Chains A and B, each alone.
Chain A
Amino acid sequence: MIRVVLPPHLRTLARVDGELELEVNTPVSQRSVLDALEAQYPMLRGTVRDHITKLRRPMVRFFACGEDLSHESPDAQLPEAIATGSEPFLIIGAIAGG
């Protein structure tokens, strides 16, 4: 299982508390994690990445294992610790504005 942490506003929208656990097809990448997330929580479609282009929204970031993976290819394999579920995949709302 892949562990995913949503920003608070998206947890409220998806009506979940704490971390999510998702079944994700291999290879585990940003794209496969987000595909699984949106399949299980359709109300999140369009909030993390664009509906059509599938590009990450500008003020959303992806962190994992102490690294900012936001600019990695959506199809790049995520670290092993994410794939095994020992570390969570963090979806972050950028710190900006009020």
Chain B
Amino acid sequence: MSRVRVLVGTRKGAFILTSDGTRKRWKVSGPHFAGWEIYHMKGSLVDPDRIYASQTSAWFGQIIQRSDNGGKTWNTPGSSAEELKGPDGMPKGESNNFVYDASAETGKPLTTHQWYDGTQHPWEFKRVWHLEPSLKDPDHVYAGVEDAALFESKDGGKLWHELAGLRGSDTGPKWQPGAGGMCLHSILLDPSNPERISIAISAAGAFRTDDGGKNWRPINHGLHSEYIPDPTAEVGHCVHRIALHPSRPNTLFMQKHWDVMRSDNSGDSWQEVSGNLPSDFGFPIDVHAHEPETIYVVPIKSDSEHYPPSGRLRVYRSRTGGNEWQALTKGLPQRNCYVNVLRDAMSIDSLEPCGVYFGTTGGQVYASADAGDNWKPIVRDLPAVLSVEVQTLP
């Protein structure tokens, strides 16, 4: 029987939740990396026992952890005695060394971006927000970082180098931090075209490469953001999350600061599909495992009141790719609920029917084993949940 493994990153450590395919009884392990912020963990589709984790701290900076046995044990790549030695014969231990590529070869010097006071500010690495393993090779993994840039490692996380064409694009000086920092939080790999990657940055917008990361262009046509001087500007939009279904990679879904959007041409143009949502502000958006026109969002009251409207925690599901939304409430608190669901804190398994999972800033992880019709908490009292990823295992 298939199993599921839910990887939960929180403000104070990582937790791993496992169940068989019925998804009724859960085993909880953790905290792993206790006391550290775990922004994201994600496993390889090719080798599900290979999991990458972003472990960060305001005190001690960024650490990349890797497990090769499904989260039982972890290591910092390149730091063991037998790995990746420098000229002195010692391991290099550079798996947390994220250096913006300002080399002459790339022609992309360390540029500046817009700072809160309107002045220009140099890029400064702060943390890894999102790790996206390649669809083909477990040793190949991408990292979306703050200040916004995309890095990749082709040796299992030992060494990282920047895909500098993104940050060095002409629009870079217009990017600016959102309230949570200037982070690259979404990385979509196109299963039908290995050269195509779409990413999103808060607050710059969405961008796409069609040549494996050398050249990038903004894909924000159709977005409308009242909170910026030119609401239809090429960049400057606060995109919270983008998602796709692997069977239709040209259709992208977006939860923006306000507005839920879709594109049917790989982001070349977008249309609003907020429809009858009680609020079109929110953070995560995800797609059903088997129905590419069924999508999920969690409406949040507003950009200054980050909790569900009316204190009722409701996931909204559209079976029409947007516009027509249905509230999913069974098993979710419908009074006095004032938690948030962050952008990387929703995930969907590929069982039949598919399971939907999300974590809250109140420390609950909710699961539905029937595509959202009914919900139960797996755990209720974790630290604030930053990210949720689910792996469907044989």
Decide: A42 near B90, CB < 8 A? Known: A9-B36, A51-B97, A52-B99.
Answer: yes
> Which residue on chain B has the smallest CB distance to residue A48?
B60
A46 CB, nearest partner CB in chain B, Å: 5
C-alpha spacing A44/B76, complex, angstroms: 10
Contact with A along B40-58 (1 / 0, CB 8 A): 0000000000000000011
Instruction: List 9 additional contacts besides A38-B93, A39-B90, A59-B58; criterion CB under 8 Å.
Output: A9-B60, A12-B34, A39-B88, A42-B78, A43-B79, A44-B93, A46-B96, A47-B63, A51-B94
Tell me which residues across on chain A come within 8 A of B60, comparing CB atoms: 7, 9-10, 13, 47-48, 57, 60, 93
Tell me which residues across on chain B come within 8 A of A10, comparing CB atoms: 60
C-alpha spacing A41/B264, complex, angstroms: 50
B57 near A42: Cβ-Cβ < 8 Å: no
C-alpha spacing A10/B76, complex, angstroms: 13
Tell me which residues across on chain B come within 8 A of A7, comparing CB atoms: 59-60
C-alpha spacing A7/B58, complex, angstroms: 14
Q: State the A residues within 8 Å of B (CB).
A: 7, 9-10, 12-13, 38-48, 51-52, 57, 59-60, 93-94, 96-97
Tell me which residues across on chain A come within 8 A of B91, comparing CB atoms: 42
Report which of A12, A41, A46 forms a contact with B61, defined as CB distance below 8 A. Answer: A46
Report which of A9, A12, A43, A45 forms a contact with B59, defined as CB distance below 8 A. Answer: A9
A14 CB, nearest partner CB in chain B, Å: 9
Determine if B292 is an interface residue (Cβ-Cβ < 8 Å). no
Report which of B34, B36, B88, B97 forms a contact with A45, defined as CB distance below 8 A. Answer: B97
Tell me which residues across on chain B come within 8 A of A44, comparing CB atoms: 93
Decide: A43 near B76, CB < 8 A? Known: A51-B99, A93-B60.
Answer: yes
A13 near B76: Cβ-Cβ < 8 Å: yes
B19 CB, nearest partner CB in chain A, Å: 28
C-alpha spacing A13/B62, complex, angstroms: 12
A11 CB, nearest partner CB in chain B, Å: 12
B35 near A9: Cβ-Cβ < 8 Å: yes
C-alpha spacing A96/B35, complex, angstroms: 13
Tell me which residues across on chain A come within 8 A of B196, comparing CB atoms: none
Determine if B92 is an interface residue (Cβ-Cβ < 8 Å). yes
B183 CB, nearest partner CB in chain A, Å: 19
Tell me which residues across on chain B come within 8 A of A93, comparing CB atoms: 59-60
> Which residue on chain A has the smallest CB distance to residue B77?
A43
> Which residue on chain A has the smallest CB distance to residue B92?
A42
Tell me which residues across on chain B come within 8 A of A40, comparing CB atoms: 90
Decide: A47 near B35, CB < 8 A? Known: A39-B90, A42-B90, A42-B93.
Answer: no
